[in-house]
Amino acid sequence: MKKVERINTIMRYINNRAHFTISEIMKEFNISRSTAIRDIREIEAMGMPLVAEVGRDGGYFVMNNSVLPTVRFTDNEIKALFIAFMATRNQQLPYLKSRHSLAEKLLGLISENQQDDLVLLHKILLFEGTNPHNPDLLDLSDLPHPMLETLIQNILLDSNLLLTIKEDNKVKIYPIYLLHLYREKSMWFIEGFDVKDEKRRIVPVDNLTNVEPSPVKKRLNKKKVLEKMSKQEEMVNLVLELGPKAIAQFKKYHPLKASISYTNPYQTTAVLKTFIDVNHLEELNELSNWLLFLGEDIKVKEIPEEVLDVLQKRLLLYSP
């Protein structure tokens, strides 16, 4: 039995008894004395009102024979929870298959007056991706890619993964040390370090057909991954600082397999660092078009001369 399950079971066990001892807990759950004492202390820390009786035949009893105190929310906390819940509509987030039961449990915890406020908010507030003609909070139309939850379950166990990807009708297998799992433009992406090719790789979750733990001989720890990546970062030759308008353009379209790093908590400024292969003319032309697409709300901190030459020629074509 896992620790969390054991503690939950112990809580139910002692709540139904007027009195219990450490020896009884040890015998009932087949655990050592030190484990039983540690579990009881954790249960006390969670708020169960236990009272210890000193003496040879001493033990514990639950004050008023009640479990944890009832959870109560303020009006603002209820609104914050409900609005955050509404904002996830059609976002294809994992673990939202039980949206209906989650909403029912939330409504069951609050008063009728608080429920009336939520009903009004539900009628007034519409978020991105919501159909204004059918803004039904409980409609299960936002299920994510079926592999997303499987991926997350594996990530929680280990960051070393073996990904099977289908691209252009070809099946590819990548040993990956996962760095981030993020969502952009309504799609989920895996950002990881390719253990075989030793480079950063971004993989759409939509292309994922299987995920499993990586073989032992190919496993890396975070320290080694960061060391390898820090050496590669020395090869960066394009550094851009983006303002809010450029960030908006970046979200609309970016041909580079690179992500931006926000530089303030409001996500209105960001920096982009990547390596550009200057030996491919077609890629240079595409990159120059994209830089112009970003607009004037960028500051170029570092750029290859080859890219700069293509940009200057492009600007000459536009000049009168």
Determine the distance from the C-alpha atom of residue 293 to the mean position of all C-alpha atoms in its chain, rounded to a whole number.
30
The phi, psi pair for 59, rounded to 5°, reads: -170, -140
All residues at 6 or more sequence positions from 239 whose CB lies less than 8 Å from its CB, including other chains: 271, 272, 273, 300, 301, 302, 303
Query: CA–CA separation, 160 vs 201, rounded Å?
Result: 14
Distances (CA, A) of 255 to 172, 206, 275: 22, 18, 13
Query: CA–CA separation, 61 vs 54, rounded Å?
Result: 12
- Predicted pLDDT at 137: 45
Task: Calculate ∠ Cα 298-301-302, nearest 5°.
Answer: 120
All residues at 6 or more sequence positions from 311 whose CB lies less than 8 Å from its CB, including other chains: 288, 291, 292
Answer for the pair 22, 40: CB distance below 8 angstroms, yes or no.
yes
The helix/strand/coil state of 114 is helix
Q: Whose structure tokens read 């015998």?
A: 27
Q: Whose structure tokens read 């007056």?
A: 113
Query: CA–CA separation, 213 vs 203, rounded Å?
Result: 17
Specify the pTM. Answer: 0.53
- Predicted pLDDT at 173: 92
Query: CA–CA separation, 178 vs 190, rounded Å?
Result: 7
Task: Taking each helix axis as running N to C, give the angle between helix 112-124 and helix 75-87, from 0 to 180 degrees, rounded to the nearest 10.
Answer: 40
Domains of the chain: 3-65 (1.10.10.10), 72-144 (no CATH), 146-232 (2.30.30), 238-318 (3.30.70)
Structure tokens at 204: 């759409």
pLDDT average per 10 residues of sequence, the chain (320 residues): 81 79 89 90 80 69 58 78 79 72 75 84 76 52 76 89 88 90 82 85 90 80 80 76 92 80 88 82 82 90 88 70
